[in-house]
Amino acid sequence: MAEDGGRRRERRRTDGAKFALRSHSHRHGDRKIEEAGDPSKGVDSISSLPDVILQSILSSLPTSMAIRTSILSKRWRHVWSDTPSLSFDFTLHRPEADSINKTLDRYTARKMMSFRLCANTSCYTPHIDRWIEFAMSRNMENMSLQFRNHGGDKYHVPDFFYINNSVKQLSVHLMFYGLRIPSCSVFWTSLKKLSLHVSDEGIDKILSGCPILESLKLYFCNELRVLDVRKSQRLRTLEISCSHWVPGPTQIVAPQIHCLRLKNYLLPCTFVDVSSLTEASLDLCFFSTEKLTADFLQDMFLKMLVKLQNVDKLTFGASFLKVLSIAELRGVPFPSFKVKDLTFDALVSQYVTPGLVRLLQNSPELKKLTVRTMDSSTIQEAYIHDYLNSQGLNLDQSWSSEARVIENVWNVESKHVALFMELMLKSTKTLEKMVVMLKGYIARRKFEELLEMVPMLSHNNNNVSICLATEPNII
C-alpha cells in the first residue's frame, strides 16, 4: 500500500509538471515548447534546437566525443557530420588510421571553419597528407597542426600545403624540428594570424607569401639570428616564445608592430627598431649572473629599456625585475617611461623591490598597476647574493629598509603584503588603480585581514582604487 501511495504521489507530481508546462505553452501560443518538455513525446529540449545550434555546440568538442552523440537517437545520428569544425588529438589514444578515414568520408559540411590535428607522425605519416588535403578542400579558415616525432624520418608538409587562399589562422607546431623551407612559392593570401617554428632561411619566403598578415608567433627559433619583418606592412603583433635552453633572435627589426611579447627569452637581444610599440611583455631567462657585467647592464639592458620609453602598456616577468634591481643597486641610470598600464609577475621580495620602485618613480604618467604574485624566474636568489658579493657591494647596505621588510609574500603575514602595497603607492603620485592578484594558497583569515586594510590604504593615498583578488585556492 505504501508503495502504491508513493506511485500515486509521483504520478501527481509528473502530471502537475506537465500541466504547468502546458499552461505556460498555451499562454505563449507555442505548442513546440509543450512537446519538447513532454517526456511522452520522446523529445528533449536540447534535441528540439535547430541543427545549426547543435552543430555549433558540438564543434567545441573533440570530434570523437561529437560522434558519440549519434547513438542518442535518430535525431542525433547525422548531426555531428555537418559540424563546422573537426578536432583530432591522437597523443593520448591512437585509433586506427582507417577509422579516421571513415570519419572523414562521413563528414558532409561543405564549409569548414576549423581543423585541428595533433598526432605522432611516426604512426600516421602515410595518411597525414590526405587529412590535410581534405581539410583544405573544405575551405577551412582556421588550421592547427601539432606533430610529434618519436623516431624515424621527420614529417614534412607537402608543397600543396603552401598554396591556400581560404585559411585565415594557421598554427604549425612540429615538435623538436621546424617547418622546412618549401621548394615552391608560398601563397597564403588570406592569412592574418600565423604561429610556427621555422629556420632563418625560411622566414622571409613564408612572410612574402602572407600579404595581409597581422599577427606572427615564432617559437624555438634557435637558427634565427636577425628577425626583420619590415616587409610585412600589416603586421601588428609579434610574439617570440623560446625554451630555457634555446636563444631567440639577437636582433629584432619591426618598426610597424604595436605589440611585442618575448617569452622565456635568452638575452642578448637588440631592439633595432620597434618605434611603433604601444604594448610590450618581457619574460627573460637568466641561469646565472655571469652576463650581468657593468658593460652588459649599461649597454644591452639600458638600450632595451630606452626602446620601451614610449610604450603605454608594459608587462615584466620576475627575471626582468631582478635584473632591474641589480641595475639599480649598481647605479645604472634608468630612463623615464610614458607607461600608463604596468603589470609584473613576481613573488614580491627584496630581490625585485629596488628595480620596481625605481620603475614606478620613473613613470610619471602611470595610471594602473597590476601585481600578480607568481614566480617563474630563472635567477636564483643565491646567484644575486654571490653576484653582489663579487662586486664588493655590502648586502645589508644594498637593500633599502623597505626592501628588507618586504620578504616573500608567498607565505608571509598579511601585514607584509600591506607594507608592499603601501610602498608601491608611495612610489607613484599619479596612480588611479592598483590590482593585486594573490596566486597560490593563502589562508582565508589572512585574505580577510587584507581586505580590511584596503580602505585605509586607499584613503591614505588620494583614494586610489584598490582591487584585491585571489585564485580559488583559499584554505
Whether pLDDT at 51 is above 50: yes
Does 343 fall in a domain?
A: yes
- Mean pLDDT score across all residues of the chain: 79
pLDDT score at 271:
93
- Using pLDDT thresholds of 50, 70 and 90, give the confidence band for residue 332: confident
- Using pLDDT thresholds of 50, 70 and 90, give the confidence band for residue 7: very low
pLDDT higher at 384 or 257: 257
pLDDT higher at 16 or 246: 246
CA-to-CA distance for 154 and 283, rounded, in angstroms? 31
Distance, first Cα to last Cα, the chain: 51
- Using pLDDT thresholds of 50, 70 and 90, give the confidence band for residue 2: very low
Q: CATH code at 317?
A: 3.80.10
Whether pLDDT at 39 is above 60: no
Output b/e per residue, 98-115; b: 16+ Cβ within 10 A: eebeebeeebebeebbbb
Whether pLDDT at 456 is above 60: yes
Instruction: Output the CA torsion sign for 471, 363, 406, 347.
Output: positive
pTM exceeds 0.85: no
In tens, the pLDDT along 94-131 reads: 788 888 899 999 999 989 999 999 887 767 888 889 99
Place of cell 582604487: 465
Place of cell 513532454: 38
pLDDT score at 377:
56
List of residues 6+ apart from 150 with CB closer than 8 A: 120, 122
Percent residues over pLDDT 70 in the chain: 75
In tens, the pLDDT along 346-399 reads: 777 777 888 888 999 999 999 999 988 775 555 666 666 677 777 776 555 555
CA-to-CA distance for 238 and 229, rounded, in angstroms? 9
- Using pLDDT thresholds of 50, 70 and 90, give the confidence band for residue 455: confident
pLDDT score at 98:
87
- Using pLDDT thresholds of 50, 70 and 90, give the confidence band for residue 318: confident
Extract the C-alpha cell encoding 17: 509538471
Whether pLDDT at 25 is above 60: no
Extract the C-alpha cell encoding 347: 613573488
Does 458 fall in a domain?
A: yes
Among the listed ranges 17-31, 330-344, 423-437, which one has the minimum average pLDDT value? Answer: 17-31
Extract the C-alpha cell encoding 355: 628595480
CA-to-CA distance for 202 and 260, rounded, in angstroms? 21
Nearest to 341 by CA among 297, 301, 321, 311: 311
CA-to-CA distance for 34 and 18, rounded, in angstroms? 8
Phi and psi angles of residue 382, each rounded to the nearest 5 degrees, phi first: -60, -35
Identify the domain containing residue 32 by its residue range: 16-48
Does 250 fall in a domain?
A: no
Does 350 fall in a domain?
A: yes
Does 76 fall in a domain?
A: no
183-187, 212-216, 239-243, 342-346: range with highest mean pLDDT? 212-216
E strands, 74-174, in order: 85-89, 114-120, 142-148, 163-164, 169-174
List of residues 6+ apart from 123 with CB closer than 8 A: 90, 94, 97
pLDDT score at 237:
98
CA 401 vs CA 152, 349, 355, 380: distances in Å: 60, 12, 14, 22
pLDDT score at 472:
54
Does 316 fall in a domain?
A: yes
CA-to-CA distance for 22 and 19, rounded, in angstroms? 5
pLDDT score at 134:
95
pLDDT score at 437:
86
Does 291 fall in a domain?
A: yes
Instruction: Output the CA torsion sign for 426, 431, 437, 442.
Output: positive
In tens, the pLDDT along 281-292 reads: 998 776 555 666
pLDDT score at 255:
97
Rounded to the nearest 10°, the torsion over CA 365, 370, 376, 378 is 20
In tens, the pLDDT along 151-194 reads: 556 778 889 999 999 999 999 987 666 677 778 899 999 999 99
CA 178 vs CA 147, 169, 181, 262: distances in Å: 11, 18, 9, 19
pLDDT higher at 384 or 333: 333
pLDDT score at 234:
97
Using only the alpha carbons of the chain, give its radius of gyration.
29
Extract the C-alpha cell encoding 316: 615584466
Query: How many domains are there within the chain?
Result: 2
Among the listed ranges 22-31, 66-75, 260-269, which one has the minimum average pLDDT value? Answer: 22-31
**DSSP letter string over 214-280?**
-EEEEE--TT--EEE-TT-TT--EEEEE--TTS---SEEE-TT-SEEEEEEEESP-EEEE-TT-SEE
Does 295 fall in a domain?
A: yes
CA-to-CA distance for 398 and 259, rounded, in angstroms? 35
- Using pLDDT thresholds of 50, 70 and 90, give the confidence band for residue 22: very low
